[in-house]
Amino acid sequence: MDIQFSADRPADADVLVFPVGKGGPDAGAWPIAQGKMVTDAARSARFEGKAGQSFSTYVDQDGSTVRILLVGTGSDGFDKAGGAISAQLLTSGAQHAALMVDGLSTEQAADLAYGAKLRSWRIDTHRTTLKDHEKPSLKTVTLVGADQAMQDRWTHLAAIAEGVAFTRELVSEPANIVYPESFVERARAKMEPLGVTIRVLDEPEMEKLGMHALLGVSLGSEKPARLLALEYMGGKDGDKPMVFVGKGVTFDTGGISLKAPAGMEDMKWDMGGAGAVAGAMTAIAGRKAKANVVGICGLVENMPDGRAQRPGDIVTSMSGQTIEVINTDAEGRLVLCDALHWAQETYDPAMIVDLATLTGAMLVALGHEQAGIFSNDDGLADKLIKAGKDSGDALWRLPLGKAYDKLIDSPIADMKNVGPRSAGSITAAQFLQRFIQDGVKWAHLDIAGMAWADKDSATAAKGATGFGVRLLDRFVADNIEA
Ligand code: BES
Ligand code: MN
Ligand code: ZN
Confidence of residue 38 (pLDDT cuts 50, 70, 90): very high
Report pLDDT for 124: 96
Which one of 50, 223, 333, 441 is the catalytic residue? Answer: 333
* Terminal Cα distance for the chain, rounded: 32
Q: What is the pLDDT of residue 363?
A: 98
> Is the distance from the beta carbon of residue 372 to the nearest atom of ligand 1 less than 6 Å?
no
pLDDT digits (tens, 9 = 90+) for 278-331: 999 999 999 999 999 999 999 999 999 999 999 999 999 999 999 999 999 999
pLDDT-derived band at 9 (thresholds 50, 70, 90) equals very high
Q: Is 223 annotated as catalytic?
A: no
Per residue in 348-404, pLDDT tens?
998 999 999 999 999 999 999 999 999 999 999 999 999 999 999 999 999 999 999
Dump pLDDT digits (tens) for 145-199.
999 999 999 999 999 999 999 999 999 999 999 999 999 999 999 999 999 999 9
Which pLDDT does position 445 carry in this prediction? 99
What residues contact 438, with CB distance under 8 A and at least 6 apart? none
Q: Is the pLDDT of residue 427 over 80?
A: yes
User: What are the pLDDT digits (tens) for 208-231?
Assistant: 999 999 999 999 999 999 999 999
| Cα–Cα dist 320/323, whole Å | 10
- Mean pLDDT for the stretch of residues 15-23: 95
Q: Which domains does the chain have, with CATH numbers?
A: 2-145 (3.40.220.10), 159-480 (3.40.630.10)
**93 secondary structure, DSSP code:** S
Q: Give helix 78-89 / helix 106-119 axis angle, nearest 10°.
A: 40
Is residue 464 within 8 Å of residue 269, measured between CB atoms?
yes
Question: Would the pTM count as exceeding 0.85?
Answer: yes
Q: Which residues of 69-105 are buried (b: 16+ CB within 10 A; e: fewer)?
A: bbbbbbeebbbbbbbbbbbbbbbbebebbbbbbeebe
3-state class of 372 per DSSP?
Answer: strand
Q: Is-contact 156 114, C-beta < 8 A?
A: no
Q: pLDDT of 58-110, one tens digit each?
A: 999 889 999 999 999 999 999 999 999 999 999 999 999 999 999 999 999 99
| 112, 297, 322, 476 from 149: Cα distances, Å | 14, 36, 55, 22
Q: Count other Cβ atoms within 10 Å, centred on residue 396.
A: 13
Banded pLDDT at 17 (limits 50, 70, 90): very high
pLDDT the model gives residue 231: 98
- 445 by DSSP, 3-state: which? strand
Report how far residue 214's alpha carbon sits from residue 306's, in angstroms, rounded to the nearest whole number: 18
Task: Supply the pLDDT for residue 94.
Answer: 98
The residue to mutate among 264, 329, 335, 416, having the most atoms of ligand 1 within 8 angstroms of its beta carbon, is 329
Does the CB atom of residue 427 touch ligand 1 within 6 A? no
pLDDT of 482 = 86
Query: What number of other Cβ atoms are within 10 A of residue 22's Cβ?
Result: 14
Annotation marks residue 9 as catalytic: no
329 within ligand 1 shell (Cβ under 6 A): yes
Answer whether 338 contacts ligand 1 (Cβ < 6 A): no
What is the per-residue pLDDT for 383?
Answer: 98
43, 186, 188, 259: the catalytic one is 259
Amino acid present at 244:
F
Out of 359, 364, 447, 450, mutate this one to test ligand 1's pocket (max ligand atoms within 8 Å of CB): namely 359
Q: Please indicate whether residue 405, judged by its CB atom, sits closer than 6 Å to ligand 1.
A: no
Mean pLDDT, to the nearest integer, of 434-457?
98
Query: What is the distance between the alpha carbons of residues 209 and 98, in angstroms, rounded to a whole number?
Result: 57
The DSSP 8-state label assigned to residue 437 in this structure reads P
The total number of residues written for the chain in this structure: 482
Contact 183, 297 (CB under 8 A): yes
Tell me phi and psi for residue 126, to 5 degrees.
-100, 10
For residue 116, the 8-state DSSP code is: H
Q: For residue 27, what pLDDT is reported?
A: 77
Is the model's pLDDT at 29 over the cut of 80? no
